[in-house]
Amino acid sequence: AQSVTQLDSHVSVSEGTPVLLRCNYSSSYSPSLFWYVQHPNKGLQLLLKYTSAATLVKGINGFEAEFKKSETSFHLTKPSAHMSDAAEYFCVVTPRARDSSYKLIFGSGTRLLVRP
């Protein structure tokens, strides 16, 4: 079975310090992996995606993530946090189903707090 585990439900950092949001996945197939961000009372926005090309993926707003197959991890990082980064972040895996659809499987989310 496919699953996603976000290791921290809350992460708190000071503005200007690095951000690390951790994600581990389990998938029987070669997966596609994504990070989405959700600001309060908003929909979800794609930050970045991995689809079996380069293992280091760059996304919007200075975020990046590295796919490590040996560790089954896809951690999200940013060198310097900004107040506007405060939001909830979701790690998502898309295993391929028998009907060829791509059902998204979400982690439980990590809420990022950025302190002034």
Amino acid at 112: L
Among 49, 62, 66, 77, binds another protein (CB under 8 A): 49
Between residues 32 and 77, which has the closer beta carbon with respect to another protein?
Answer: 32
CA distance 28 to 18: 32
Report the relative pairing of strands 73-78 and 64-68 from DSSP bridges. Answer: antiparallel
CA distance 104 to 96: 9
Among 20, 46, 60, 83, binds another protein (CB under 8 A): 46
Binding site for another protein (CB under 8 A): 9, 30, 32, 34, 36, 42-46, 49, 51-53, 90, 94, 96, 99-109
